[in-house]
Structure 1
């Protein structure tokens, strides 16, 4: 599924909810369904700074695509970061850097977040984008032979 397809599917799903409370309930439910990270990943190396609640993001690259896994002590932050991780997982680095999450405003997700949660969302996006950019750069660099 392309980023465009994923965006349309997510927007369609979120459009069913008539108010902010229903959308937040959906977001929290997405986080609850997500498997928690193993304790070995709940360390500073994977911590997303700039969020009041502890939030971790684990990234991996395989077969030309990026995958993201998250967890948080906060149900809302886990839900929001899960929505982002699910959206950006299984996309190529180029698709990721070409599609920012501003479309979440279209369905009222970001407008009702507290400033701290918006900051956390921004930090998760930055980490996802930066990881994809790093993969994009390493994939496009020519491989050098050892002589």
Structure 2
């Protein structure tokens, strides 16, 4: 499945919820099904700044693709970061760099987040994109 297909599948998943409370309940439930991040990765190097809650994103690069794992001490924060990490995981760096998560506004997620949570989500995207850029640069120099 391409990154564009994954994005469209997420839109199809989230669009039916007309009430933003139901949408966030679904996002939280979806995040609960994800395994927690191992304590060894809950360190400052993987901590996302700009969020009141503690939010970590652990990146990996293997076989030419990036993978992202996340965890947070706040359910909504973990849920929204899980959306981004699942979208961008198992993708090539150039595809990650090219696709912005604008669809989150389309389905009514970002406009119902507090400014701090929106800032945290933006910082997750920035971290993911920066990691993909680093992987692409390293691949080009080899």
For the pair shown, which has the larger CA radius of gyration, 1 or 2?
1
Kindly state the Cα deviation for residue 62 of structure 1 after the two structures are TM-superposed: 0.5
Aligned to 2:2: 2
Aligned to 2:60: 60
Alpha-carbon displacement from aligned partner over 1:91-122 (angstroms, at most 9, x marks no partner): 10000000011111000010100000000000
Kindly state the Cα deviation for residue 53 of structure 1 after the two structures are TM-superposed: 0.3
Aligned CA RMSD, in angstroms, stands at: 0.8
Aligned to 2:28: 28
In structure 2, C-alpha distance between the alignment counterparts of 1:22 and 1:55, rounded to whole Å: 23
Structure 1-normalised TM-score? 0.94
Aligned to 2:86: 86
Kindly state the Cα deviation for residue 131 of structure 1 after the two structures are TM-superposed: 0.2
Match runs of 1:1-147 below 5 Å: 1-141=1-141, 143=142
Alpha-carbon displacement from aligned partner over 1:72-100 (angstroms, at most 9, x marks no partner): 00000000011110010011000000001
Which runs of 5 or more residues in structure 2 are unaligned?
Answer: none
In structure 2, C-alpha distance between the alignment counterparts of 1:136 and 1:43, rounded to whole Å: 25
Kindly state the Cα deviation for residue 49 of structure 1 after the two structures are TM-superposed: 1.0
Kindly state the Cα deviation for residue 15 of structure 1 after the two structures are TM-superposed: 1.1
Structure 2-normalised TM-score? 0.97
